[in-house]
Amino acid sequence: MNPPNSAILCKCQIYHRLDDEKLTQVITALKDAGVRLRITEDLCHDAVHHPEKFRDANVFIGCHHRTLQALCDFAGKSDQATVFDVNHDVEKLLDTLTATPSDHQDAYSEDTVCRDWIAWYPVIDNNRCVDCGKCADFCMFGVYAFEEKKVKVVKPSGCKTDCPACARMCPANAIIFPKSTEANINGALELVVKPDAKQNESLRARLQARKASARLFKEDVK
């Protein structure tokens, strides 16, 4: 495991998905160990608006492992990142610090995020995605693009806040909504949960209805 050299810690200040006591414990330990530390209010927001911040960090501390990894991929981080879940990995993180004291004294910064947009959007677990394109076909708001047989999240701001519908129909359980409270959607589960057939049927029916009404609307405005 890489020793923390330069870490980014997310406080999840908008949806409060992290344990405050554990956050304080980890921040104090990282500062005491002299790790170069950048604290952010919302890493989901940074992945869209400040992907450059991901480049220099080698450790990411926030919510779930798969989620943090998918956010790094989305932000275009090409080198290896080590991820820690604040709610479950405090001991492991503290052990790493004790084993590898650092000398970046006072290298500490805290960023606030602009709150004019709630960073609710999907990221993709590339270890699971089979590039079937169903999410791009399902979403009516242009959040996904399916180009050259690869699917990508291209318009996160188009996503409807608190709606994780596309995650429910993904056959590979590869779509993660970091801020969801559902473990099979927010990246907490390491197990693949296949979509429920009945639920999928009703989602498909709703999609067809939405597509039909969108077609009617287009014809009306001609």
- Residues that bind ligand SF4 in the complex, under the rule CB under 6 A: 10, 12, 15, 17-18, 42-44, 62-63, 67, 71, 124, 129-135, 151, 170-172, 174-175, 178-179
With respect to ligand SF4, which residue has the nearer C-beta, 27 or 102? 27
Task: Supply the minimum distance, in Å, between the C-beta of residue 170 and ligand SF4.
Answer: 3
What count of Cα atoms within 13 Å lies in the side-chain half-sphere of residue 100? Answer: 14
User: What is the rounded distance in angstroms from the CA atom of residue 178 to the CA atom of residue 71?
Assistant: 9
User: What is the rounded distance in angstroms from the CA atom of residue 222 to the CA atom of residue 220?
Assistant: 6
User: What is the rounded distance in angstroms from the CA atom of residue 1 to the CA atom of residue 25?
Assistant: 21
With respect to ligand SF4, which residue has the nearer C-beta, 54 or 102? 54
User: What is the rounded distance in angstroms from the CA atom of residue 75 to the CA atom of residue 54?
Assistant: 7
Task: Supply the minimum distance, in Å, between the C-beta of residue 31 and ligand SF4.
Answer: 19
Q: Give the H/E segment covering residue 85.
A: strand 82-85
With respect to ligand SF4, which residue has the nearer C-beta, 23 or 33? 23
Task: Supply the minimum distance, in Å, between the C-beta of residue 222 and ligand SF4.
Answer: 32
Task: Supply the minimum distance, in Å, between the C-beta of residue 216 and ligand SF4.
Answer: 26
DSSP classification of residue 156: G
User: What is the rounded distance in angstroms from the CA atom of residue 163 to the CA atom of residue 180?
Assistant: 9
Task: Supply the minimum distance, in Å, between the C-beta of residue 15 and ligand SF4.
Answer: 6
With respect to ligand SF4, which residue has the nearer C-beta, 35 or 172? 172
What count of Cα atoms within 13 Å lies in the side-chain half-sphere of residue 69? Answer: 16
The pair phi, psi for residue 48, each rounded to 5°, is -85, -50
With respect to ligand SF4, which residue has the nearer C-beta, 17 or 36? 17
User: What is the rounded distance in angstroms from the CA atom of residue 50 to the CA atom of residue 199?
Assistant: 36
Task: Supply the minimum distance, in Å, between the C-beta of residue 171 and ligand SF4.
Answer: 6
With respect to ligand SF4, which residue has the nearer C-beta, 6 or 137? 137
